[in-house]
Amino acid sequence: MFVVDKLILLAAVLILLGIFSSKISARLGLPMLVLFLLVGMLAGEDGIGRIGFDSPQAAHALGTLALALILFDGGLQTPLSSIKQVWKPASMLATLGVFVTAVITGAAASYILDISLITGMLLGAIVGSTDAAAVFSLLRNAGIHLNPRLKSTLEIESASNDPMAIFLTVGLLEILVNDMQPGLPLLQLFVMQMGLGAIIGLIVGYAVIKLINRIHLQASGLYPVLVTASGLLAFGLAANIGGSGFLAIFICGVMIGNSQFAFQRTTFLFHDGLAWLSQITMFVVLGLLITPSSLLDVWWQGILIAGVLVFIARPLAVFPLMKLFGFNLRETTLVSWVGLRGSVPIILAIFPLMFGLPNAQLIFNVVFFVVLISATLQGSTLPWIARRLNLIEKPQAQAPATLEITSLGDVDAAIVEYTLSDNSRAAYRRLSRMALPEGVVVAMITRGEKVIAPRGSTILQPEDHLFIVLKDDYKDFVEQAFADKGFAGSRPAGPLRMKGATMLSDIDWCYGYGAKLNQGREDISLEGLCVRMLGNNLAEQAEFKYADRHFKIVEMVGDRVVTLSIQPAEPV
């Protein structure tokens, strides 16, 4: 068998082992990254696999690509509303918080390992960033729900603090290797890295949205590939002109993810799978790179440095900043504990090996040990800490699980699949009683293995999958109609066009108006309401106000009211 064939077989086996190991993550209470690393270590030269792998350059190249794709997916999944809500505390944690953590940890590492202060600071910078992807996978598996502000702060901080840790590592390496003077040159490097990274990310993201909505590709599968290539373009451009490629690809992802474009949901699913593949591959390869027996040589130093990082450095960095932005003590304590270290420290620990620094192997082994301790200790105790701090809230009513099958290009319409929950407004309700906007069509319903032809008499059941053709303007309305009871989604400001036969009570039920239209009276249709309010003055474009809503007749056939528009009445 050729060498390439063996490598393909080996890669497939290791990836499958990584995937299967994720199944036991929740049961053991460990982050999946720990299990992926263990798979790589077991397959390595000290493990049962006896695979010899000693190429820091190859691991660095693969890790950089994987991390870029993971950050890109994080940007795609980050709502702009979350960034606007918590950008101030999150950005401070991602910059000043990382710096303070690195300085305190680095000073301790210098003393514990008996190395120079600047080398200790390098180690501190390497372990400066957090990996909340593992944290929130644990929270989801444990069924823990945090308040939106706290959750968004943790997510945005973890997604944006990697560039700061990378900058500090690169800057300290410049001082150690190229004798760059700290001070103004380091400040210039910071401005250049962050500034160019942000600008390139914004420019490429904006250009991609304009391009993807104008171009018409023959194969729908090329749209996710186009988006991926665009993200990598942002990374490459920024990195090659001296900017932060990681910041550029994250911002590019945010720009793309918060815009409407063709095959959007398909693209998101593609990148979610690509991010998982990148994560598994990266951690397994990094696990192969380490020699487990070498960790025993630094076990007590690793425990001490991990202790300083978890119990001293992270709290000292977090508490003043969180208090500044009005977080209470319990919330601040949780943010302090959610300092889980992950992929970035191990990848950055390869840099000293590549540059041939003295103590490079020591730094790599200690960083690897610190990541294992941090991920295991903090990851396994996080659900318990959240409960003890009384920060667990009841799960909020959710929108229906959706899947956009395809966007119909310039038609400004899409086919969307909605999955109903037990608590959905639509559950156990006849399809005819769902006050869907005019022009929205339920094309198909699947229930288990059965396909049900949609009829007005069809009673919807939990777990039903509804395939609906709708205009983009109506997505929020339709989502509201099929969401859980109590779900408070955003409603568009534009008018809602409804059929004249729609009953007022059905509108109240589907859109949460709380009997404001029906007002507890005898139930009537929209057409009946028009007759009651306008009498003999029924005509197209006729308008009236009722129950804080503005009604306008859009279409009539003979003396029948076929279509109306409804929108909130303008304040007097």
Q: For 189-234, write each residue's pLDDT tens digit.
A: 788 888 898 899 999 999 998 888 777 777 777 888 899 999 999 9
CB-CB contact of 496 with 565 (8 Å): yes
Q: Is 476 exposed, middle or buried (0-12, 13-18, 19+ CB in 10 A)?
A: middle
Question: Cα–Cα distance between 236 and 190 in angstroms, integer?
Answer: 18
Amino acid 571: pLDDT? 46
Same domain, 343 and 477: no
Angle between helices 56-76 and 222-240 (to 10 degrees): 120
Question: Cα–Cα distance between 245 and 232 in angstroms, integer?
Answer: 9
Amino acid 572: pLDDT? 35
Same domain, 483 and 520: no
CA 80 to chain centre: 11
Mean pLDDT along residues 231-248: 90
CA 68 to chain centre: 14
Closest CA to 242 of 192, 191, 170: 192
Amino acid 411: pLDDT? 57
- Placement of tokens 């911002």 in the chain: 251
CATH code of the domain containing 406 = 3.30.70.1450
Q: What is the mean pLDDT of the chain?
A: 81
Residue 569, pLDDT above cutoff 70: no
User: CB count, 10 Å around CB of 236?
Assistant: 16
Largest CA distance in the chain: 93
* Tokens encoding 289: 């790179």
Amino acid 402: pLDDT? 60
Amino acid 267: pLDDT? 84
pLDDT tier for residue 242 given thresholds of 50, 70 and 90: confident
**Residue where a domain terminates, one of 342, 372, 388:** 388
Instruction: Tell me the pLDDT tens digit for each residue of 168-186.
Output: 888 888 888 877 777 677 7
- CA atoms within 13 Å, Cβ hemisphere of 311: 8
* Tokens encoding 139: 């929270």
Amino acid 210: pLDDT? 86
Amino acid 317: pLDDT? 92
* Tokens encoding 154: 């943790």
Same domain, 54 and 66: yes
pLDDT tier for residue 1 given thresholds of 50, 70 and 90: very low
Question: 448 phi and psi, to 5 degrees?
Answer: 65, -125
Question: Cα–Cα distance between 245 and 238 in angstroms, integer?
Answer: 5
Question: Cα–Cα distance between 336 and 446 in angstroms, integer?
Answer: 46
CB-CB contact of 57 with 74 (8 Å): no
Mean pLDDT along residues 135-157: 72
Segments of 48-91 assigned E as strands: none
* Tokens encoding 513: 């108006």
CATH code of the domain containing 166 = 1.20.1530.20
Same domain, 482 and 501: no
Least confident of 252-261, 264-273, 394-403, 517-526: 394-403
Amino acid at 55: S
Q: Which of 232-236, 273-277, 531-535 has the highest mean pLDDT?
A: 232-236
Same domain, 241 and 260: yes
Question: Cα–Cα distance between 144 and 352 in angstroms, integer?
Answer: 39
Amino acid 307: pLDDT? 92
Closest CA to 419 of 477, 462, 469, 472: 462
Same domain, 351 and 409: no
> Cα 42–48–50 angle (5° rounding)?
95
For residue 318, the cross-strand partners are none
Amino acid 279: pLDDT? 78
Same domain, 215 and 199: yes
End-to-end CA distance of the chain: 81
The number of distinct structural domains making up the chain is 3
Q: Helical H runs in 389-493? A: 475-482
Question: Cα–Cα distance between 346 and 319 in angstroms, integer?
Answer: 26
Mean pLDDT along residues 133-157: 71
Amino acid 252: pLDDT? 93
pLDDT tier for residue 407 given thresholds of 50, 70 and 90: low
Q: Is 419 exposed, middle or buried (0-12, 13-18, 19+ CB in 10 A)?
A: middle
- Placement of tokens 């202790």 in the chain: 307
Amino acid 153: pLDDT? 84
Same domain, 381 and 470: no
Question: Cα–Cα distance between 386 and 90 in angstroms, integer?
Answer: 20
For residue 496, the cross-strand partners are 566
CA 356 to chain centre: 36
Same domain, 298 and 359: yes
* Order of strands across the sheet that contains 560-568: 496-499, 560-568, 549-557, 543-546
**Residue where a domain terminates, one of 459, 492, 525:** 492
Amino acid at 421: S
Instruction: Tell me the pLDDT tens digit for each residue of 311-360.
Output: 999 999 999 998 888 889 999 998 888 877 777 788 888 888 888 888 88
Amino acid 109: pLDDT? 92
For residue 416, the cross-strand partners are 404, 468
Same domain, 531 and 560: yes
CB-CB contact of 71 with 246 (8 Å): yes
Q: Which of 83-97, 306-320, 347-361, 542-556 has the highest mean pLDDT?
A: 306-320
DSSP 261: -
CA 58 to chain centre: 28
Amino acid at 527: E
Would the CA dihedral through 525, 529, 530, 535 be positive or negative? Answer: positive
Residue 12, pLDDT above cutoff 90: no
CB-CB contact of 426 with 420 (8 Å): yes
Question: Cα–Cα distance between 522 and 502 in angstroms, integer?
Answer: 14
For residue 430, the cross-strand partners are 459
CATH code of the domain containing 514 = 3.30.465.10
- CA atoms within 13 Å, Cβ hemisphere of 238: 33
Instruction: Tell me the pLDDT tens digit for each residue of 412-437.
Output: 667 788 888 888 888 899 988 888 88
CB-CB contact of 442 with 454 (8 Å): yes
- Placement of tokens 């950008």 in the chain: 87
Least confident of 57-66, 106-115, 232-241: 57-66
Same domain, 532 and 569: yes
**Residue where a domain terminates, one of 441, 465, 492:** 492
Residue 116, pLDDT above cutoff 80: yes
- What domain range is 49 assigned to? 3-388
Same domain, 199 and 104: yes
User: CB count, 10 Å around CB of 535?
Assistant: 8
What DSSP string runs through 501-557?
Answer: T-BHHHHHHHHT-TTTTTTTS---BHHHHHHHHHGGG--TT-EEEETTEEEEEEEEE
* Tokens encoding 260: 């409407």
CB-CB contact of 260 with 211 (8 Å): no
